[in-house]
Amino acid sequence: EVQLQQSGAELGKPGTSVKLSCKVSGYNIRSTYMHWVNQRPGKGLEWIGRIDPANGNTIYAEKFKSKATLTADTSSNTAYMQLSQLKSDDTAIYFCAMDYPGPKGVMDAWGQGASVTVSS
Amino acid sequence: DIQMTQSPSTLPASLGERVTINCRASRGISNNLNWYQQKPDGTIKRLIYYTSNLQSGVPSRFSGSGSGTDYSLTISSLEPEDLAMYYCQQYASSWTFGGGTKLELK
């Protein structure tokens, strides 16, 4: 069974950074893209960007280009997202998500979400 | 960037009712359209991929259709476990989600 286990809740002060992790079991992340999505309180889903763990190539949504940095460690099968220069507007739940091949076609898997609260 | 406009934002419906959620892209997306369900506990799963392909394990009462810029998700007969948020998502150019539809009991 493919599972994505995200790191725990983070409380960050304005102007600081946090780094979230997403550890994958049951599938080699080198064979897929890892996407990151956020959800602000009471709002919808918003795509942040994605990384190709095989080569480190990244694509970001325009508004997150200077906010998020995506990395991956294939040796531990873990993807990371660092959020910098935190502001109150970064308070949200952050999800990692990926596709993988299942017995009956492509499947998706999502992390459980990691809450980030920005407060002084 | 491709914008996705989803409607309605809230959909009151009765159990057993047929419901449809719509999604319009700001330009053609060549059927590169998925539908996701988010339950009240926050868990997210894909229901439909590439416009009309039912994800393995998803009940057959869910179906998707569309082309060009206009797409829809239909539930043929609403069950209690279907009360949730629904999002369309294009992947023709990066990803963009629609604003979401809250499916609630009438």
* Model pLDDT, residue A24: 98
Q: Hey, which residues does B38 pair with through a beta bridge?
A: B44, B85
* Model pLDDT, residue B47: 98
- In this complex, which of A46, A106, A113 lies closest to B97 when CB atoms are compared? A46
Q: Once rounded to an integer, what is the mean pLDDT over residues A2-30?
A: 97
Q: Once rounded to an integer, what is the mean pLDDT over residues B29-51?
A: 96
Subunit contact A44:B55, Cβ cutoff 8 A: no
Confidence band, pLDDT 50/70/90 cuts, at residue A79 = very high
Task: Specify whether the CB–CB gap between A116 and A18 falls below 8 A.
Answer: yes
Subunit contact A44:B42, Cβ cutoff 8 A: no
Q: Once rounded to an integer, what is the mean pLDDT over residues A86-97?
A: 98
Contact residues for A62 (Cβ-Cβ < 8 A; gap 6+): B1
Q: Once rounded to an integer, what is the mean pLDDT over residues A72-91?
A: 98
For the record, the structure tokens of B48 come out as 């439909």
Task: Specify whether the CB–CB gap between B38 and B84 falls below 8 A.
Answer: yes
Question: How would you classify the pairing of strands B10-13 and A105-110?
Answer: unpaired
B42 vs A: CB within 8 A? yes
- Mean pLDDT taken over chain A: 97
Please, is A56 exposed, middle or buried when counting C-beta atoms within 10 Å of its C-beta (0-12, 13-18, 19+)?
Answer: exposed
* SS3 category, B54: strand
